[in-house]
Amino acid sequence: MEKSSQVDYLVMGAGVAGLRAAIELARHGEVLVVTKESLGESNTHYAQGGIAVAMEGDADESLHLDDTLKAGDGIVYRPAAEALVAEGPQRVAELMEWGAVFDREGNTGDGALLRTREGAHSLPRILHANGDATGAEISRSLVAFARAHPRIRFAEWTMVSGLVVADGRIIAADVASAAAAAADSTPDRILVRSLLIASGGAGQVYAETTNPAVATGDGIALAAQAGAELADMEFYQFHPTALSLPGVPRFLLSEALRGEGAYLRNESGERFMDRYHPQLELAPRDVVARAIAAEGKAAAISGGPRAVYLDMRHVTGIDLHRRFPGISAFLARHGLDLARDLIPVRPAAHYLMGGIRTDLEGRSNLRGLYAAGEAACTGVHGANRLASNSLLEGLVFGARAARSMLADGLPFVDADTPAAVPIPLSADEEQRVEKLIADLRTAMWDYAGLLRQHSLLLEGLASQQECADGLRKLVREGKGSRRLSEARALSSVAHAILHAALARTESRGAHFRNDFSQRDDEQFRKHSIFNRGGSANKVVFEEW
């Protein structure tokens, strides 16, 4: 990347939230977008199902709001949800003006927008693109529009390695090459008026995840280290239907499949969701995921898992290969066909409802530090995100965060010291880091996954502490590499998840405890706030 001593606004992440913010910020200043790999390699790019948006007026918005509140299991922050559904149509219309193309009726491209239905939605409101490649289309259009702006620069294969805090304000960021061959590169310290973290979630903290390899929670961990509050970290959504084949990545099988009529069947061939929820396969994701775990005996504390299947063999009147081209192509590489076969599935970590605590304008408790998208927590998702609200969240709150960064108008402040130059890790040390990451991910899946309890969470904390201790030695020696940074981020995120999960002694939304299986509104109809100060860790619960 080009060396630079200062830039008005630094955006960490090139997904939907970061790009939408960058476009807004560039109207009034110079913007640097930092992305750890190539443009488009983000959770946004891999989003299949679509974008939920109420485009038919007030009644439609009211229903969308109600569905969002119900899915969030009692703790959705209503003003955030109201902003999401009210501003969503404008943001999506704007996106289409910038070149995003959604699927329409007919073959001419000018028919009515096609809409599908997904879990916990009361009606079809999900727009999709190229069948099952909505995220890729949104990413493509935003990247193209942003690239054409003269005030936006991109730093690909670059990572933010540290934040500089002075008097409770972020004044600079250290950035370095994220390419493996440049592990010993000299970081560049860049002065900023303000910085937006839009670096996505942290699915790689779990051994089983639908997230790409870049989703290691870097931004969340950097914010926490700098003193930012985190919120609702116990609420990690496990997508019910990831492909379950030995040796094959947990490829996401979109909820839109069930929206188009797919059934879930157990090993005996029974359609089982009627035993768990009246909405059957279109129940909220947390319900469906736990039902699959129960039917397949897939909890970590059980024996071996039995198969659970997605079945579309009965679906007629739709060309499944045309409707779901990406999914169909991936399945074909493994000898499977939606129209012909039962597809083996199991839950996998998918989306973090928690993150950096912000207000509705993206402000954190640190001046100069803002967050949007999956890295942030406004309370808009509560305990369980409504399907396909995430892309809309990135558009709405990315724009909001950018406007507040502009309105706050913070000045530059000089940083007294240059960025530290790390010592490269040896090959043996890199292998040790990989082992620590693998052990942590396995422990988080086994002890803090879909089904939790006090004893298991304590086992998870012991494993996380072992990881943290191993990494701390390398850090004290001045060592540094991309994987070491990612390992530290994953360890930090795991630490927050475990503490918040231990503190919430109830079951709500995506957080289910075997030892506290009921919802407790009297004590816990609140949001958890995690603040890591020095060696102390504090979780408190607050009403928003």
Q: Which residues are catalytic?
A: 285
Amino acid in position 407: A
CB proximity list for 416: less than 8 A, separation 6 or greater: none
Q: In whole angstroms, what is the distance from residue 349 CA to residue 219 CA?
A: 18
Q: For residue 53, with 0-12 CB atoms within 10 Å meaning exposed, 13-18 middle and 19 or more buried, which class applies?
A: buried
Cβ neighbour number for residue 493 with a 10 Å cutoff: 29
- CA torsion angle 245 250 251 254 (round to 10): 110
Alpha helical stretches, state H, 118-176: 134-147
Tell me the C-alpha distance between 119 and 70, whole Å: 12
- Quote the CA–CA distance of 133 and 103 in Å, as a whole number: 10
The closest alpha carbon to 218, from 419, 483, 486, 409, belongs to: 486
- Integer Cα distance of 111 and 109 in angstroms: 6
H-assigned helices in 104-235: 134-147, 218-226
CA angle 381, 450, 69 (to 5 degrees): 20
Tokens 């299947």 found at: 309
- What is the C-alpha to C-alpha distance for residues 515 and 529, in angstroms, rounded to an integer? 22
Distance CA 509, CA 273 (A): 17
Q: What is d(CA 350, CA 336) in angstroms, rounded to the nearest whole number?
A: 23
Residue 315, Cβ density class (10 Å: 0-12 exposed, 13-18 middle, ≥19 buried) = middle
